[in-house]
Amino acid sequence: MSKHIAVIVGSLREGSYNRKLAQALVGLAPEGLDFSFVGTGDLPLYNPDLDEGDVPEAWTRFRKFVNAADAVLFVTPEYNRSLPASVKNALDVGSRPYGASVWDGKPSAIVTGSPGGIAGFGANHHLRQSLVFLNAPPMQQPEAYVGHIHEILDDEGRLTNEDTKAFLGGFMSAFAAWIDKLS
């Protein structure tokens, strides 16, 4: 039976490197995983008052989408040594109302990509910290930090570096095993 994976891309830019990387990761995944991308750019900033009245439709849609998934794959850049605001807002929206978190018990994995050499290390670990608190266990090994991302993707988003392709294929196989272990 196939497992449904929600993919959250931290960059809102349509042609972002991390969006291309996420699509490449989907192509490297083993059989048995079914992926769907969920947008975060239209989510109003989390405000607890809105959960008490007219809940924004975008929140309801997002919560239902993630709640129906078996696991979540985050692919994100790093902004100012942390995660993008869209990802943090998605975590907050999905964690509420209190007691109804869509993240609870959901296996997760994180890949960060950056044109720089640090490869999103700060974003990766900030996101891990939140996921641990939200009980969405992030896969511990292997970790995936993709530096110099602009040099390993062609214009169509295909990986051009065979070593990186092999590593990321192994990452996706490990993610499949992580999901099975926690299911």
pLDDT exceeds cutoff 90 at 1 = no
d(CA 51, CA 43): 13
d(CA 85, CA 4): 25
Query: In this structure, are residues 32 and 3 in contact, taking their beta carbons and an 8 Å threshold?
Result: yes
Average pLDDT over residues 108-122: 93
Unique residue bearing structure tokens 């008052």: 49
- Give the residue extent of every domain in the chain: 3-182
Q: How confident is the model at residue 14 (pLDDT cuts 50, 70, 90)?
A: confident
d(CA 117, CA 164): 14
Q: Assign domain 3-182 to a CATH class.
A: alpha beta
d(CA 54, CA 160): 47
Strand 33-37 with 3-9, pairing: parallel
Unique residue bearing structure tokens 């999103």: 120
- Strand order in 144-146's β-sheet? 33-37, 3-9, 71-76, 108-113, 144-146
Query: In this structure, are residues 150 and 17 in contact, taking their beta carbons and an 8 Å threshold?
Result: yes
pLDDT digits (tens, 9 = 90+) for 61-102: 999 999 999 999 999 999 999 999 999 999 999 999 999 999
pLDDT digits (tens, 9 = 90+) for 123-170: 999 999 999 999 999 999 999 999 999 999 998 999 999 999 999 999
Report the pLDDT value the prediction gives residue 142, as an integer from 0 to 100. 98
